[in-house]
Amino acid sequence: MNSFVEESAERFVQIFRGTVELASGELFKPGEMLTVRVDNESPQFVFEIKNGYFPGGGCHGRRIANKNNVDVMMPMEDEVMLTID
C-alpha cells in the first residue's frame, strides 16, 4: 500500500463473459457483468477500470487489489467497445 503502481508487460489480463474470453474491440452490453482475471497473481496486482464498477472495490469501485476472477459491472451506457490496455 501507499506505493506507486508499475505497469507490467509480463502479465496478461483476460476478460470473460461467462466462460467465453473476450478480445479487445468486442462490444459489451450496458450494465453487463463480466469477469476479469490476471494470468499471474504474484506478487501483487491492482485492477483499475475507467468506465465500469468493481462491486466491493475501492476508490468508488474503480480499483480492486489482489483479487482474481472478479466481477466488473460495465457502464449503463449504449453498447460500447471493450478496450484492454
* pLDDT averaged per 10 residues, the chain (length 85): 67 89 85 88 79 86 87 76 59
> Would you state the pLDDT for residue 68?
86
Does the pTM surpass 0.85? The reply is no
Scan for cell 461467462, then name that residue: 18
pLDDT at 38: 86
**Which pLDDT value is given to residue 78?**
62
Residue appearing with cell numbers 474491440: 25
Secondary structure E strands in 1-85: 13-17, 20-22, 27-28, 33-38, 46-48, 63-65, 70-73, 80-81
φ, ψ (nearest 5 deg) of residue 58: -90, 180
Predicted confidence at residue 84, as pLDDT, reads 59
